[in-house]
């Protein structure tokens, strides 16, 4: 249940696109460095670096040299600053929704949820008592059918293939309920691989010394957790649990391959599971998961599902019981006494991400409350911090971006007329949500009990799970959001042909009414363009305007597109965050295409709004210079080394520094910064990748 400190990337398109997104100067740290609180952080630049050699450092060099990552964070930049500000604001709103509110109201639930999590003394007093009935259930497992039921009972709606692109679950499998890719008028259940305590198979299998060291520490962590729970024989059990996870990792599909939609869209009937994935008692598993009547599933990683199923039959029952005990405690650690919290932090944050210090309890409490009652909290947030004028201004910007994208589509000389018409149709039906959803979630079915932090967390998870199961018998709601309004991020929902821009990303320094719009176009405009272009990237090209998985391009169009993608893969494979690793160009391709396209279309959109007026000049910089500088400052981010290494393995996005350097693909970047052949970022015109 510990959602707030998951080791794996939880939001992809953001940390995704968005995590990624932030920008310039804002927040107190930067102001101290001499930045204006509106506009750009000129003082944070390093003019001694040639823009053509290292644009990221030219735009951010002094900021990088003088900024320290806060002790409770594994990285820091504009998105972190905005996340911090939003956390503080959200905490105040939550605290104001206190126990005085009438029972059963959302305000009361929010207040009770937060207060229960904050009551550390009570949690300490309870010890492991809240877990006792669940541990007893594990103890009672006597045969493989009972094991299958226990595993089925852990299934949650905790993964997401195409929207938030969260491919990680600690449970044996994860469920995502979304539009069926062959028939987007109905929902289907997608079954994904899981079962690892570390973020990715690579952590178990990569032979490097660094990874081997992490494995040793992970085994020690497993033993420490068992010891805290007074489970005897911890060391031997830890070795067996680790070995089981290593074998699960061996059958896992890689992250890069898991992103290939055509490989994932495998429809299996319920009856097929025992033959195609023998081992697990599937009827018992699905029955315990509340899916006993479901006729058909989408099995995203068939090899992993088969491999894991076989392990449930071949590995001794006692090892599986130890595995279940460990993960039960591990996943609940955020709701347990401080010794468990500290042990969880020591491995998952300190070892895996390099974070020296744990976040204060109130921040974790806000994140847990957001996870449980996200849209109820979001409703309070937008009422206070997202005025109608800003919503209208953002909507106008989105319209400008869409119009500019339409012009680009018309101009593409290599695209067949039929494909072009379909692209225009897809753009015309794109549903863009700004700030918050038109209809809010109903939380009346969620029971929150003051003083029962663990029970609240568990009920919230099950509430979310049942909300998703219920969709299987409902018609598709294209207005549903995939992110909370108080999240600093943005997301494209390919099968919905929809985009969400949460309110929290639409604030300074991403989006600021008190500066020239050119800087907004370089920052949030490029993000908006990025999200729109996901509808037309290597994956978006697979979904038609209704969200059906149907390649709507001609063979020649697709070949052209793939050739451009290939050059972008090579470009990003050439970036080395550390001498021993390089960015995975294939794994990050969709995001890199979206960055190039988003930046180009935002520049077009800004130019279209000028109506021939002369471009602005601020601080001695021209309009074009301000546009690109704003983009590069939006990407400023510093990482602790283990965190950056982790991201390169698990993230679908390239590290921010290289995302900023994608300016080198735009012709318009070269003249304003006097970039010439021989400089490190210089690309000869045929090598510049322009997909749209
Ligand atoms: Zn993206």
Distance from C-alpha of 408 to C-alpha of 570, rounded to nearest angstrom:
25
Q: Determine the distance separating the centroid of ligand 1 and the alpha carbon of 14, expressed in angstroms.
A: 6
State in Å: Cα 562 to ligand 1 middle: 18
| 269 CA distance to ligand 1 middle (Å) | 32
Residue with tokens 């001794």: 316
Ligand 1 centre to CA of 428 (Å) is 20
What is the 664 CA–ligand 1 centroid distance (Å)? 19
Distance CA 258, CA 265 (A): 11
What's the CA gap between 570 and 584, in Å, rounded? 9
What distance in angstroms lies between residue 528's CA and the mean position of ligand 1's atoms?
A: 10
CA of 118 to the centre of ligand 1 (A): 35
What is the CA(590)–ligand 1 centre distance, in A?
A: 7
pLDDT one-digit tens code per residue, 119-131: 999 999 999 999 9
What local confidence, expressed as pLDDT, does residue 247 receive?
98
The 10 Å Cβ neighbour count of residue 444 is 10
**661-675 in b/e burial notation, b at 16+ Cβ within 10 A?**
bbbbbbeebbebbeb
How close is the Cα of 221 to the center of ligand 1, in Å? Answer: 34
Q: How many angstroms separate the alpha carbon of residue 591 from the centre of ligand 1?
A: 5
Phi, psi of 176 (to 5 degrees): -130, 125
Count Cβ atoms within 10 A of the Cβ of residue 294 and give its class: 0-12 exposed, 13-18 middle, 19 or more buried.
Answer: middle
Q: What angle do CA 456, 458, 464 make, to 5 degrees?
A: 100
Residue 327: half-sphere exposure toward Cβ, Cα within 13 Å: 24
* pTM (predicted TM-score): 0.88
Token pair belonging to 284: 């018992």
Q: 3-class SS at 77? A: strand
- CA 308–ligand 1 middle distance (angstroms): 31
- 219 by Cβ neighbours in 10 Å (0-12 / 13-18 / 19+) ranks as middle
Distance 281 CA to ligand 1 centre (A): 38
CA 148 to ligand 1 centroid distance, Å = 37
CA of 19 to the centre of ligand 1 (A): 10
Ligand 1 geometric centre to CA of 473 (Å): 30
Token pair 């644009």 in the structure block, residue: 55
| Low-confidence stretches of the chain (pLDDT beneath 50) | 1-35
The separation between the first and the last C-alpha atoms of the chain, rounded to the nearest angstrom, is: 42
Cα 665 to ligand 1 centre (Å): 18
DSSP labels for 630-680?
A: HHHHHT-EEE-HHHHHHHHHH-SS--HHHHHGGGGG-HHHHTTTT--TTST
Distance 651 CA to ligand 1 centre (A): 11
CA of 659 to the centre of ligand 1 (A): 11
**71 Cα–ligand 1 center, Å:** 28
Report helix angle 317-332 to 234-251, nearest 10: 90
Cβ atoms within 10 Å, residue 145: 14
Residues 241 and 222: beta-carbon distance below 8 Å: yes
Angle at 580 between CA 9 and CA 72, to 5 degrees: 40
SS3 string of 463-521? HHHHHHHHHCCCECCCCCCCCCCCCCCCEEEHHHCEEEEEHHHCCCCCCCCCCCHHHHH
* CA 658 to centroid of ligand 1, rounded, Å: 14
* Phi, psi (rounded to 5 degrees) for 486: -90, 20
CA of 654 to the centre of ligand 1 (A): 11
CA of 616 to the centre of ligand 1 (A): 30
The alpha carbon of 491 and the centre of ligand 1 are apart by a number of angstroms equal to: 7
User: For tokens 């081992």, what's the residue?
Assistant: 279
Phi and psi (nearest 5°) for 237?
-65, -40
Nearest to 64 by CA among 633, 642, 653: 633
Which pLDDT tens digit goes with each residue over 591-647?
999 999 999 999 999 999 998 888 788 989 999 999 999 999 999 999 999 999 999
């Amino acid at each position: 249940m510990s959602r707030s400190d998951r080791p794996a990337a939880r939001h992809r398109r953001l940390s995704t696109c968005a995590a990624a997104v932030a920008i310039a100067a804002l927040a107190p740290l930067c102001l101290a460095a001499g930045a204006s609180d509106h506009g750009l952080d000129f003082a944070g630049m390093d003019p001694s670096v040639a823009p053509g050699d290292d644009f990221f450092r030219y735009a951010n060099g002094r900021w990088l040299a003088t900024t320290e990552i806060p002790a409770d964070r594994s990285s820091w930049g504009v998105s972190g600053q905005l996340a911090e500000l939003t956390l503080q604001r959200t905490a105040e709103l939550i605290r104001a929704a206190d126990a005085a509110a009438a029972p059963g109201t959302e305000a009361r639930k929010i207040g009770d949820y937060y207060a229960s999590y904050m009551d550390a003394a009570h949690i300490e007093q309870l010890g492991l008592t809240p877990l006792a009935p669940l541990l007893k259930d594990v103890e009672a497992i006597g045969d493989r059918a009972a094991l299958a039921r226990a595993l089925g009972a852990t299934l949650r709606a905790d993964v997401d293939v195409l929207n938030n692109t969260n491919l990680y679950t600690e449970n044996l499998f994860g469920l995502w309920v979304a539009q069926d890719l062959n028939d987007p008028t109905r929902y289907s259940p997608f079954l994904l691989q899981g079962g690892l305590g570390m973020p990715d198979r690579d952590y178990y299998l990569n032979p490097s010394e660094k990874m081997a060291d992490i494995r040793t520490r992970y085994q020690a962590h497993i033993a420490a957790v068992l010891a805290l729970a007074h489970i005897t024989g911890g060391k031997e059990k830890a070795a067996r649990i680790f070995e089981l996870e290593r074998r699960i990792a061996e059958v896992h599909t890689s992250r890069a391959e898991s992103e290939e939609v055509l490989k994932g869209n495998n429809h299996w009937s319920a009856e097929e599971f025992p033959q195609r994935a023998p081992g697990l008692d599937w009827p018992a598993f699905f029955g315990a998961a509340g899916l006993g009547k479901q006729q058909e599933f989408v099995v995203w990683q068939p090899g992993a599902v088969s491999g894991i199923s076989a392990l449930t039959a071949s590995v001794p029952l006692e090892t599986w019981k130890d595995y279940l005990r460990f993960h039960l405690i591990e996943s609940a650690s955020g709701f347990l006494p401080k010794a468990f919290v500290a042990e969880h932090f020591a491995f998952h944050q300190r070892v895996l991400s390099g974070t020296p210090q744990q976040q204060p309890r109130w921040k974790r409490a806000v994140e847990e409350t957001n996870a449980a009652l996200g849209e109820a909290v979001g409703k309070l947030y937008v009422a206070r911090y997202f005025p109608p004028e800003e919503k209208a201004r953002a909507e106008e910007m989105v319209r400008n971006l869409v119009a500019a994208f339409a012009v680009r589509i018309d101009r593409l000389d290599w695209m067949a007329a039929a494909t072009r018409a379909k692209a225009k149709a897809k753009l015309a039906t794109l549903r863009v949500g700004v700030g918050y959803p038109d209809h809010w979630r109903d939380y009346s079915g969620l029971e929150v009990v003051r003083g029962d932090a663990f029970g609240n967390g568990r009920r919230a998870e099950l509430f979310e799970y049942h909300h998703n199961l219920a969709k299987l018998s409902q018609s598709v709601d294209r207005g549903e959001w995939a992110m909370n309004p108080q999240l600093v991020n943005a997301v494209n929902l390919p099968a919905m042909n929809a985009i969400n821009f949460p309110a929290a990303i639409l604030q300074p320094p991403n989006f600021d009414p008190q500066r020239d719009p050119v800087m907004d176009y370089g920052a949030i405009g490029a993000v908006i363009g990025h999200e729109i272009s996901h509808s037309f990237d290597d994956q978006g090209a697979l979904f038609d305007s209704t969200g059906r998985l149907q390649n709507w391009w001609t063979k020649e169009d697709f070949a052209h597109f793939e050739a451009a993608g290939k050059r972008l893969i090579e470009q990003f494979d050439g970036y080395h965050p550390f001498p021993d690793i390089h960015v995975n160009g294939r794994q990050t391709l969709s995001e890199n295409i979206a960055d190039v396209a988003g930046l180009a279309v935002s520049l077009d959109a800004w130019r279209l709004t000028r109506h021939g007026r002369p471009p602005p000049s601020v601080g001695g910089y021209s309009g074009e210079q301000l546009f690109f500088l704003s983009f590069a400052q939006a990407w400023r981010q510093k990482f602790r080394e283990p965190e950056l290494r982790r991201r390169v393995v698990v993230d679908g996005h390239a590290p921010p520094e290289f995302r900023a350097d994608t300016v080198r693909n735009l012709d318009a970047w070269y003249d304003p910064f006097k970039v010439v052949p021989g400089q490190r970022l210089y690309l000869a015109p045929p090598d510049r990748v322009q997909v749209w």
